[in-house]
Chains A and B, each alone.
Chain A
Amino acid sequence: MKTLRYLTLLPFVLVTAGGQMPDSFDASGRSTQAQSGVQNDNPLRTGENPPPQMFGMELPVLDPSNDTMSYGGAKFDVGNNAVVRERFEKFLSQAPDDSEQSKLYRKKLQQILDYTERYSSNASKIGSKTLVKIGTGLYDISSYPGDGEQAGALASAIVSALDVQRNNRRRDKVNAELDSEIDKLIIKTNSLNNRNTQKNRGGGGSGDIKNPNQGSTGTSNTFLIAANSTKIAEKKAVQAANTASNQASLPVAKLNYQGLVVWLMLQRRYDHAVIGARVYRHVFRDGDTSMNLEKDSDAYKLFTGISGMPPTINTVDTMASNARREVDQSIDAVYGALAQNKLGEATNRLITAVALGEYMQSVAIFPTEHRKRIDAYWQLRKRALVTLNARDYDGVEAIAAEMKKLDVDFNDSQLIAYTSGKKRQSNFALRSARKAFEAGKDEEFRRLATEAAIIWPLNPNLDKGEEQIALVDSYAPIMDEFRRLLERRQLRTIYNERERFQVVVTDSELKKKYSEVVEFVGATDIMLASLRTGAETDRTIGPCLAYEQMVLLQKKDERYTADKMFTDALGQYAAQAHDFVQALSNGENSEKRAEYGSALSSYYRARCFFPKSTLAQEGIERVTKIIVAAKY
């Protein structure tokens, strides 16, 4: 599982650094191709760590157990990730790569892979026939467009590595020859030395007399010895230089080669990576397969994460081989799920396969009809997400029903529970809004209606709420006019247009006032009609009665004074009951002047005109008490 975990993150490493993915973008929207600098950056040497960024240089980790990918402390759904989604949709829209050229390419690639499995016993020989075949084959397939010239790059790396080693071998050979020459020179020099020594011992002092040329011969040996010593020194210097060159060029050659292999791995060119890894031990036959990765680099963490051991070139071989197997197994799982009409499972496995091994043969030749089936389901899944984001819960439920038809395993219970809950929540808010509307609580109604709309924007019941809102809005001017008329006490105007003003009942406060106005003016009209009838029936008492009733009402409720119809009628009855009104008026005026005798006389007179007059009787009783209680 851990291997799978790290294998599956490789595509995302590729996404971050892959030069073949110009359509991937980092969080800032810039092309990662421009940032990563694929051809220039050595993946083994990270140098300064760049600042963390989404789809930048950090290594995202995919958790296949829940299809989430975490990086930067955040988790993202792989199926809903823009980059993965885009590449997957691109894959679904493409035709399978099953052309003759493609088949030939894959056939040759497989042959090269087969070559790598052959054992080479000739350890001393660099550039065996097998290696030549591999290199030739790689150059041959690099012309195929789908290869992206990765094979050519690998072939060039192999050739370069071999050239370096050939040069090393040549230098080693030169050094061996130099050793031989040095040995000969040493022997020759030793011989000359011995001869000089013997002559010096045998001749003694007479040597010079017998052989006068002997001194010149000794001098000659001495020169030869010196010349040989110089030659030996020169050859050793050449040897040292060759050794130094060999020691310097080999690690560089290994580093370059390993960098390319790792790069091929990260680009999901698993076949190329396997070839490169397996050829490595034939190219570099010193038995050292350790990889020169910086310990702080992401690549080092990636490769050491599997076993915890220092990475070797065999690690790449293992990982690439596992990835190939995983991709093939995923594709097999896709076929199996499709056969069982489990489109959800098939889609998820295909996403994994495409993300992990887009360039694998099993993925590339995935049939068109299967792509179309999965694409139909994928589009439904996308629509479901978009529709869910739009909070179109009816739409989500319809899509869920379609998905259920396509996928026997699709479980919509969670989705339906969610949408039902949201719909119910919205309807509850609307119900509360309606109650608030009926109670005339305008602000609360608006708040609750808005809340219902936010929860479920396409709630069909919202139309009714919207109509009510529009209605409330149209009420505002009428309510203002109503308040204005109330302030001016133009109650009869309200009453006359009571049907138009009836909308104010939506406001709890105005509703009460509206009822009061309608009841008051209505009752006034009934009263006036009754008094009019009485006045017309009895033209003597009737007007007096009407007048007095109206005056009494006026004293109790000042709203009557503001009613023109009331005041007009009052004036009319005052004229008709002139004597009565005059008598009452005189009585009141006299009372005010303390002319209580005159006042009582006037009240008596008023009572004569209207014997049941309350006003007159009250005046009589009031004044009588004052008169009787006074002292004279």
Chain B
Amino acid sequence: MARSSRRGRGKKVNSMPIVVGVLGVLVVVLAGMLFFKPKARSAEPEPFNISRYREDGSRFASTGNRYVIEGTVESIETLGDNRMVEVSVRGNRRERLPLLVQGTPPSRVNITRGDKFIFDVSCRTGRDSAGHEVKGILIVNDVKTK
């Protein structure tokens, strides 16, 4: 009804802006769909919020998602076959994450101190020998050289 009332007021209506607008919206929607196309579960790592992790790491474990963390190795603590890697993220070197590397990563990348790497990690909750929970531990699935 509204459309009809508009039509009734003028004989020649310039529909060009409307078309352009509609097209624009479509382009945006398509672009968005292309860009934000959902990844398959465990197929693509998610970006990591360090501040939130520091507050409550186990929350990341509950999702079971994998994350991609890009950073510089600041230190490595080797305990048996495992290594605890301290990584500083880009943009703020005081933001540090502890990454547990169990054994050798599939990519067989040699993790060295001072180098930048892209880590594919999962957040998990384990148990110690007494059965107590060990929450919010970032375990490296794989690592790539930057």
Residues from chain A with a CB closer than 8 A to the CB of B56 are 595, 598
Evaluate whether A596 and B132 lie within 8 angstroms (CB atoms) in the complex, with A601-B57, A630-B127 already known.
no
- Whether B79 contacts A597 by the Cβ 8 Å rule is no
- Whether A597 contacts B57 by the Cβ 8 Å rule is yes
B139 interface residue (CB < 8 Å to A): yes
Residues from chain A with a CB closer than 8 A to the CB of B84 are 600, 624, 627-628
- Whether B126 contacts A630 by the Cβ 8 Å rule is yes
Fill in one digit per residue for A376-419: 1 if any B CB lies within 8 Å of its CB, else 0.
00000000000000000000000000000000000000000000
- Whether A627 contacts B96 by the Cβ 8 Å rule is no
Fill in one digit per residue for B97-126: 1 if any A CB lies within 8 Å of its CB, else 0.
110101000000000000000000001111
| Size range of the chain B interface in the assembly | 35 or more
Question: Nearest residue in A to B100 (C-beta to C-beta)?
Answer: A627
- Whether A630 contacts B98 by the Cβ 8 Å rule is no
Question: Nearest residue in A to B75 (C-beta to C-beta)?
Answer: A604
Fill in one digit per residue for A577-588: 1 if any B CB lies within 8 Å of its CB, else 0.
000000000100
B44 interface residue (CB < 8 Å to A): no
Question: Nearest residue in A to B84 (C-beta to C-beta)?
Answer: A624
- Whether A596 contacts B79 by the Cβ 8 Å rule is no
B9 interface residue (CB < 8 Å to A): no
- Whether B127 contacts A631 by the Cβ 8 Å rule is yes
Majority-rule SS of B interface residues: strand
Closest chain A CB from B85 CB (angstroms): 11
- Whether B98 contacts A601 by the Cβ 8 Å rule is yes
Please report which residues of chain A, range 578-627, place their CB below 8 angstroms from some CB of chain B when the two chains form the complex.
586, 590, 593-598, 600-602, 604-605, 608-609, 624-627
A629 interface residue (CB < 8 Å to B): yes
Question: Nearest residue in B to A589 (C-beta to C-beta)?
Answer: B55
A119 interface residue (CB < 8 Å to B): no
Fill in one digit per residue for B73-99: 1 if any A CB lies within 8 Å of its CB, else 0.
010010110101010000001111110
Number of interface residues of A (CB under 8 A): 24
Closest chain A CB from B110 CB (angstroms): 20
CA–CA, A625 to B79, complex, Å?
Answer: 8
- Whether A604 contacts B98 by the Cβ 8 Å rule is yes
Fill in one digit per residue for B43-67: 1 if any A CB lies within 8 Å of its CB, else 0.
0000000100111111000000000
CA–CA, A128 to B99, complex, Å?
Answer: 160
Evaluate whether A601 and B139 lie within 8 angstroms (CB atoms) in the complex, with A631-B126, A631-B127 already known.
no
- Whether A596 contacts B134 by the Cβ 8 Å rule is yes
- Whether B132 contacts A597 by the Cβ 8 Å rule is no
- Whether A605 contacts B94 by the Cβ 8 Å rule is yes
Residues from chain A with a CB closer than 8 A to the CB of B74 are 604
Neighbour of B126 across the interface among A598, A605, A632, CB < 8 A = A632
Question: Nearest residue in A to B52 (C-beta to C-beta)?
Answer: A598
Neighbour of B53 across the interface among A597, A608, A625, A630, CB < 8 A = A597
Residues from chain B with a CB closer than 8 A to the CB of A631 are 126-128
Residues from chain A with a CB closer than 8 A to the CB of B139 are 632
Neighbour of B98 across the interface among A593, A594, A608, A627, CB < 8 A = A627
- Whether A629 contacts B128 by the Cβ 8 Å rule is yes
Question: Nearest residue in A to B138 (C-beta to C-beta)?
Answer: A597
Neighbour of B77 across the interface among A590, A594, A624, CB < 8 A = A624
CA–CA, A608 to B74, complex, Å?
Answer: 10
Question: Nearest residue in B to A628 (C-beta to C-beta)?
Answer: B79
B143 interface residue (CB < 8 Å to A): no
Residues from chain B with a CB closer than 8 A to the CB of A600 are 84, 98
* 11 chain-A/chain-B pairs, Cβ below 8 angstroms: A586-B55, A593-B135, A595-B58, A597-B123, A597-B138, A598-B135, A598-B136, A601-B57, A604-B96, A628-B84, A632-B125
**Residues on B close to A: CB < 8 A?**
50, 53-58, 74, 77, 79-80, 82, 84, 86, 93-98, 100, 102, 123-129, 132-139
Other contacts beyond A604-B74, A627-B84: 13, CB < 8 A: A586-B54, A593-B135, A596-B57, A597-B137, A597-B138, A598-B55, A598-B135, A601-B57, A601-B97, A605-B94, A627-B134, A628-B80, A632-B126
